[in-house]
Amino acid sequence: MFWWPARALHWLMALMLLTMLFVGAGMVASVSERHAWLLALHKPLGIAILALALLRLALRLWRRPPPLPRELGAAQRFAAHASHWLLYALMLAMPLIGWAMLSAGGYPVELGAGLRLPPIAPFDPSWFAALRWLHRTLAYALFALVLLHLGAALHHGLIRRDGVLRSMLWRRIERRDP
């Protein structure tokens, strides 16, 4: 069973990441007055994800997750570990790239209540364009990885029934053998 702070952060960040992906998709698809509202939500949510990803990574390094089932083959173990580390990398990289992109475009990162982050990249329109492309491309990769993660969780919970999904849930679900 995962430690309860790890579970709480997992589910909070899952909700935040899904929200962020849909807000981002809506933001780039809209030229209406909703665009400004979505952008005002996107920036602080991205910084919150960055802060929580750092906390989550620290907790993971401090208190290791439960081991994977012994029955998993080497390829599945590798895929599980690689996909988790890639999720962490994207949860850290996406907000930093977005922040750098806005900085390069000369746009402030306002978090609300008058709180503004300093720029982390110099003003440069060509950097802005490159970082915007990278941010969008990695967003698609993150979305695909989230879907893969969800599919693997459902595979473990509904098909293999090996306890992997149960270890991240809040209450124990008794294993039923077919």
Q: Is the pLDDT of residue 138 over 90?
A: yes
Q: DSSP letters along 86-122, please?
A: HHHHHHHHHHHHHHHHHHHHT--EEEETTEEEPPSS-
Neighbours of 66 (CB within 10 A): 13
Q: What is the pLDDT of residues 25-34, one digit of tens each?
A: 888 887 778 8
116: β partners: 110
Q: What is the pTM of this model?
A: 0.86
Q: Over range 133-139, report the average pLDDT.
A: 96
Predicted confidence band of residue 119 (pLDDT cuts 50, 70, 90): very high
Consecutive H or E run containing 53:
helix 34-62
- Looking up tokens 């919970």 gives 157
> How open is the CA angle 160-10-111, to the nearest 5 degrees?
150
If you average pLDDT over every residue of the chain, what do you get?
89
**Res 177: pLDDT:** 52
* First-to-final CA distance of the chain: 23
Q: Is the pLDDT of residue 174 over 70?
A: no
CA distance 64 to 3: 9
Predicted confidence band of residue 5 (pLDDT cuts 50, 70, 90): confident
Q: DSSP letters along 128-170, please?
A: HHHHHHHHHHHHHHHHHHHHHHHHHHHIIIIII--STTGGGSS
Q: Is the pLDDT of residue 178 over 70?
A: no
**Res 169: pLDDT:** 79
Q: Over range 106-132, report the average pLDDT.
A: 94
**Res 163: pLDDT:** 75
